Structure 1
Amino acid sequence: MNSSVSALPLSTLNPANEALTLRLPSSLQLKHQLPLSTALSHQVDAHRQAIRAILDGKDSRLLVIVGPCSIHDPKSALEYAANLARVAHDVSDSMLLVMRAYVEKPRTTVGWKGLAYDPGLDGSDDMAAGLTLSRELMREMLQLGLPVATELLQPMAANYFDDLLSWVAIGARTTESQIHREMASGLGMPVGFKNGTDGGVGIACDAMRSAAHPHRHFGVDSQGHPAIIQTPGNPDTHLVLRGGHRGANYDRQSITQIHDDLTRLKIPARIMVDCSHANSGKDPLRQPQVFNDVLEQRLQGNRSLIGMMLESHLFEGCQPLGPSMRYGVSVTDGCLGWESTEQLLREAHRRLRLPA
């Protein structure tokens, strides 16, 4: 992965605020430089259709979005992806495993914003290089046969790799954003809206209803020009439960209440549980406990539980950015290690295949 598209100096804005503008290549330029082959394009479409079939109840498999909290090192990310591809093949009759390739990270205040923003991990914020590296990396994951998922945080960045994605998350802090709802209404893949940080699902329900409708909104076209974007509406949205300030929301009582709320609002009861964040008490090693609890609910007949999400890397835990970092360890939220992840997935495969 050695190709790059450089940002071009454009102008200095109002000297009073010291703002500097650097022109990025258009998404069309980057897609031409790093194209998606016809075979991989068909693969992405097939994976999107498979996820839609799970959401619609036409495919009985469990959808699992799994991978690092964020990607900061392409080498360890590709090693992880190769491991996941092997397991994905082995469990494919009971689960559809999707590689979590998060290259943007929301920050409560300040901090490292992800590979697409700062691939050097040093505050240089070479976003042209970050977008190029992110697209290269996702394309290599596709070549391993994996579906790819990410959280779309900056709508302007979405156009640089939207053709590579089979599933998209809208985070807890952006689910309420009209701009993200408009963006989701025009995406060509299923979208999961996370519940708000308070743990309530009302905001996510509003988001799903909004994204299902067509919109006209301000945006940027593939050549980088301001444009009016007209979207068709996205019927393939669903709810992602990640807990909140009041605690977890994956237990049976919470799931039953949320199912009833979705039904009352005439929203398809399609629920994914994020085993991390508040649902695990921010303890990555508790993710298997959450996963197995939700799996048991599904095995007992709750078909509205269509999937789960795990934060997992080669090795467990997390670490701060610095001059000497451990290989394969997250630099954002703590992750489950690969050995524990593989054991969890293979055991779930065994249980899902048992006679009812």
Structure 2
Amino acid sequence: MKRDLSPLSHDTPGALPSPAELRAQLPLSDSTALLIGAARQSVRDVLDRRDPRLMVVVGPCSIHDLHAGLDYARRLKALADEVADTLFVVMRVYFEKPRTRIGWKGLINDPRMDGSFRIAEGLALARRFLIDVAQLGLPAATETLDPVSPQYVGELISWAAIGARTTESQTHREMASGLGVPVGFKNGTDGKVDTAVNAIASSSHPHAFLGIDADGRAAVIRTPGNPYGHLVLRGGGGRPNYDAACVALAGQALEKGGLPPNIVIDCAHDNSNKNHTLQARVLDDVVRQRLAGNRSVAGVMIESFIEAGNQAIPAELSALRYGCSVTDPCVDWAETAAMLRAAREALRESVAALREGRDV
């Protein structure tokens, strides 16, 4: 498995560059920054119902092979352009993985997948990959797990998620309040939405907390509050929560909390009984809800890669199957394309009618 490593990859494993140093080494061009800014605004427009398209956050459960990841990104860009009149596609680019017990924590934490934890190398690889994806004209989404990581890659992201295990964390609510992107908070692993509703409300307010500045120094971080927090339904407790009744109850919980009823449906995890082959069924149900007039469902998440399923990390990394997830199982590329094309075909007329102000 080839890797294009930056000079920082050869630093002492415990030494980290400052965010400013990494940004200087791997700068973001003005034109690419404009593309990312436009993508962020498109996500906001979807949540504000100014853009009637369905947002689709789709991609590998995690990025472990940069070459396969970029291969996937090129394919997705072509497909995103094909369905752009109806679907707003954002690539899932996850570098940090929360673990229930133990396991590989992602490219940033352990880029060589060998327990060496060369985080400086991982940060450089992650930033370079996000720049490559952005230069394709493809927006990127990620889960924000470590509160320091956004200082290194945050300006390259168009949508962020806070996971089911961290939605209750005050640290993550404070962090989300300062991210310059819409943030989806997942419901708890038990399936309840109250924790996520509280998190969305908390992150909408200003906060002050301990963090680091661009030069890597400890600093008091002051945030303005994030008005674009929203709920991600991912199922929980072994039960799905993507059906119309669960969506309606979730919307009521948001409105009771004084929040917009904006919901994204995660087609994986408990919503598919952790069976990647059922993700298409979840998407079909979401499409039917949209056709029935439910605008509270703003988007979906799909775990997808080049090959279907997943694989264990072998002792010899050369034995890894190309384009196959090493974390949660994914649908393959052919099914991904079929899912998005079918959703586009089903929703195209209703999206066009909403765009023109006609009844649907």
What percentage of residue pairs aligned between the two structures are identical? 50
Q: Deviations over 1:211-268 (max 9, x none)?
A: 0000011111111100001100000110000000140001111111111111122110
CA contact (8 A) 2:9 2:124 kept: no
CA contact (8 A) 2:5 2:121 kept: no
Q: Quote the residue 1:352 is aligned against.
A: 347
The AA in structure 2 aligned to 1:135 is R
Q: Quote the residue 2:8 is aligned against.
A: 5
Displacement of 1:7 in angstroms is 7.3
Q: Quote the residue 1:138 is aligned against.
A: 130
- 3-state DSSP class of the match of 2:152? coil
Segment of structure 1 superposing worse, 114-123 or 329-338: 114-123
Structure 1, unmatched stretches of 5+, are: 10-20
2:212 pairs with 1:220: yes
CA contact (8 A) 2:61 2:329 kept: yes
Q: Quote the residue 2:194 is aligned against.
A: 202
Task: List aligned pairs for 1:34-183, cutoff 5 A.
Answer: 34-183=26-175
> 1:243, 1:175 → 2: CA distance?
14
Displacement of 1:2 in angstroms is 3.8
CA contact (8 A) 2:189 2:237 kept: yes
Displacement of 1:328 in angstroms is 0.5
- 3-state DSSP class of the match of 1:320? coil
- 3-state DSSP class of the match of 1:5? helix
CA contact (8 A) 1:7 1:23 kept: no
CA contact (8 A) 1:284 1:334 kept: yes
CA contact (8 A) 2:230 2:262 kept: yes
Task: List aligned pairs for 1:321-340, cutoff 5 A.
Answer: 321-322=313-314, 323=316, 324-340=319-335
> 1:217, 1:314 → 2: CA distance?
41
Give the aligned length. Answer: 345
The AA in structure 1 aligned to 2:156 is L
2:301 pairs with 1:298: no
Segment of structure 1 superposing worse, 269-278 or 114-123: 114-123
Query: Are residues 200 and 112 of structure 1, via their aligned partners in 2, closer, same or farther at CA, if it must alter by over 3 Å?
Result: same
> 1:195, 1:121 → 2: CA distance?
29
The AA in structure 2 aligned to 1:325 is L
> 2:179, 2:275 → 1: CA distance?
33
Structure 1 runs of 4+ aligned residues shifted over 6 Å read none
Q: Quote the residue 2:22 is aligned against.
A: 30
Q: Quote the residue 1:17 is aligned against.
A: none
> 2:206, 2:124 → 1: CA distance?
31
> 1:167, 1:354 → 2: CA distance?
26
CA contact (8 A) 2:60 2:325 kept: yes
> 1:301, 1:103 → 2: CA distance?
35
> 1:285, 1:153 → 2: CA distance?
27
The AA in structure 1 aligned to 2:325 is S
The AA in structure 2 aligned to 1:200 is K
Q: Deviations over 1:132-191 (max 9, x none)?
A: 011111110111110001001001112110010000000000000000000000010110
CA contact (8 A) 1:194 1:241 kept: yes
- 3-state DSSP class of the match of 1:23? coil
Correspondence for 1:288 among 255, 265, 280: 280
Segment of structure 1 superposing worse, 71-80 or 251-260: 251-260
Structure 2, unmatched stretches of 5+, are: 351-359
RMSD across aligned positions (CA) = 1.2
Displacement of 1:129 in angstroms is 0.7
CA contact (8 A) 1:4 1:128 kept: no
CA contact (8 A) 1:284 1:335 kept: yes
CA contact (8 A) 1:7 1:24 kept: no
CA contact (8 A) 1:7 1:22 kept: no
2:267 pairs with 1:264: no
Q: With structure 1 as the length reference, what TM-score do the two structures score?
A: 0.95
Displacement of 1:6 in angstroms is 4.9
Displacement of 1:4 in angstroms is 2.8
2:181 pairs with 1:189: yes
> 2:226, 2:335 → 1: CA distance?
35
> 1:158, 1:108 → 2: CA distance?
23
- 3-state DSSP class of the match of 1:354? helix
Q: Quote the residue 2:299 is aligned against.
A: 307
- 3-state DSSP class of the match of 2:211? strand
Q: With structure 2 as the length reference, what TM-score do the two structures score?
A: 0.94
> 1:271, 1:203 → 2: CA distance?
15
- 3-state DSSP class of the match of 1:36? coil
The AA in structure 1 aligned to 2:249 is Q
- 3-state DSSP class of the match of 1:313? coil
Segment of structure 1 superposing worse, 239-248 or 277-286: 239-248
Displacement of 1:22 in angstroms is 2.1
